[in-house]
Structure 1
Amino acid sequence: MKARVVLKGLALMLSLALLGYLFESSDLGNSVNEAWIDTRVRGHGVSGALLFLLMGGLFTAIGLPRQIIAFLGGYAFNVGLGTLVGALAALLGCMLSFGYARLFGQGLLRARLGERAGRFDRFIQNHPFSMTVLVRLLPVGNNLLTNLAAGISSIPAVRFFAGTLLGYLPQTLVFALVGSGAHIDPALKLALAIGLFLVSGALGAYLYRRFRHGQSLDDQVDAALDETGGSHDESRFPR
């Protein structure tokens, strides 16, 4: 796994940790909290959690990085519930973009994503659930494009959603931990989150190399994970 990929992930994590510090210590942070999290979510029980789930799902469906939703989930609900609600919000966003592609996007999306969808089909066709988990564990790629490509592929929706939820959990836990107000020394909390991020990313990269069986999910993914190298390393942190 290339250092550039790791550095992008760590940069996002550190920037969100700084945002969390601002939430807790500055007037700007307080205004953001009062404007949405503190006013609409925190202390509102089930209705606040459902609102967060709905808004998180809508934003991830149009491409907002799911790590940001996980961070906000940790901030709003703390680590455990924040991980669960953040993962479910990202799953809802996945369902929305997947459903759009499957129901309405066959023409336009197939013209633009046909090759990607074909690769996705070949990659997951023998083991759709486990290979979807593997795809979601990868520290590179584009969450929205994966959802859309899956929508125009032949993958069974239930297996894709189940694998997606399981594969989302490690990174959701990492970023919920960064955003949470857990009673842990901030430096220790950040170090723990970085360690978990590196372990989950390394696991995803290892499993990709081990079980791809000659198939390629994406040229950019291959390049970022040192499978092909070359000058096409344009992979982005997974959204």
Structure 2
Amino acid sequence: MRARVIVKGLALILSLALLGYLFESSDLGNSINETWIDARVRGHGVNGALLFLLMGGIFTAIGLPRQIIAFLGGYAFSIGLGTLLGALAGLLGCMLSFGYARLFGKGLLRARLGERAGRFDRFIHEHPFAMTVLVRLLPVGNNLLTNLAAGISSIRPIHFFAGTLLGYLPQTLVFALVGSGVHIAPALKLALAIGLFLISGALGAYLYRHFRHGQSLDAQIDAALDETDKR
């Protein structure tokens, strides 16, 4: 992967770690806690979890980075529950944008995303579940555009949603860890998050290079992974 891809991902981790510090140590953190997380989610049991899922799904469906939702999940819950709910919220957002594209947006989106949807179709044709997992592991690409392109492609929803959920888990764990209040040294927590992020991204890049069967998902992804555009 190019250095800029790694730097972009690490910058997001560091910025969220700083936000977590502000949550715990400043008046800004107190106001944020009172207005949403602490007032609406944390300590509110099933109702709080359902609200988190709903809001996380809606915001990711319209383009909010799912990593932010994962961070908030780690902050509001434990690492394990925050990872699970963060991944499910991201999946709900995926289902909403995918469903919109499939049911209502084909005419509107075909002109804009038709070529991308065609590449997506060719890329996942032989192994739709496994290749969707691969796409979600990559630390590059646009999550919303992928959902919309998949919605106007021929992929079966069950393959796309199942692959999405599995592929979301590694990065969700990373950002839930950054946002969590787990009682370990902040430097160690940050080091663990960075290490997991690099491992997840490297695995996705390796699989992309070796199992894409000559197909290109996105020229920008190829460029980011130092691949030659073969279209």
Normalised by the length of structure 2, the TM-score is 0.98
CA–CA distance in 2 between the matches of 1:221 and 1:228? Answer: 10
**1:34-45 mapped onto 2 (5 Å cutoff):** 34-45=34-45
- Residue of structure 1 in register with 2:14 after alignment: 14
Aligned partner of 2:124: which letter?
I
Segments of 4+ in structure 1 off by > 6 A? none
> What displacement does 1:228 show?
2.3
**1:156 is the counterpart of 2:156:** yes
CA–CA distance in 2 between the matches of 1:211 and 1:106? Answer: 29
Q: How many residues align?
A: 229
- Residue of structure 2 in register with 1:109 after alignment: 109
**1:68-79 mapped onto 2 (5 Å cutoff):** 68-79=68-79
Aligned partner of 1:217: which letter?
L
Identity of aligned residues (%): 88
**1:59-74 mapped onto 2 (5 Å cutoff):** 59-74=59-74
- Residue of structure 1 in register with 2:90 after alignment: 90
- Residue of structure 1 in register with 2:196 after alignment: 196
> What displacement does 1:11 show?
0.2
Q: Which string of whole-angstrom CA distances, capped at 9 and with x for unpartnered residues, describes residues 119-155 of structure 1?
A: 0000001100000000000010000000000000000
Which runs of 5 or more structure 2 residues have no equivalent in the other structure? Answer: none
Aligned partner of 2:216: which letter?
S
> What displacement does 1:108 show?
1.2
Aligned partner of 1:86: which letter?
G
**1:17-56 mapped onto 2 (5 Å cutoff):** 17-56=17-56
CA–CA distance in 1 between the matches of 2:131 and 2:183? Answer: 36
Q: Which string of whole-angstrom CA distances, capped at 9 and with x for unpartnered residues, describes residues 176-210 of structure 1?
A: 00000001111000000000000000000000000
CA–CA distance in 1 between the matches of 2:184 and 2:3? Answer: 28
CA–CA distance in 2 between the matches of 1:220 and 1:79? Answer: 33
Aligned partner of 1:183: which letter?
H
CA–CA distance in 2 between the matches of 1:7 and 1:70? Answer: 19
Q: Which string of whole-angstrom CA distances, capped at 9 and with x for unpartnered residues, describes residues 200-225 of structure 1?
A: 00000000000011100000000000
CA–CA distance in 2 between the matches of 1:84 and 1:78? Answer: 10
Q: Which string of whole-angstrom CA distances, capped at 9 and with x for unpartnered residues, describes residues 35-58 of structure 1?
A: 000000011000000000000000
CA–CA distance in 1 between the matches of 2:57 and 2:22? Answer: 25
- Residue of structure 2 in register with 1:233 after alignment: none
Q: Which string of whole-angstrom CA distances, capped at 9 and with x for unpartnered residues, describes residues 78-105 of structure 1?
A: 2000000000000000000000000001
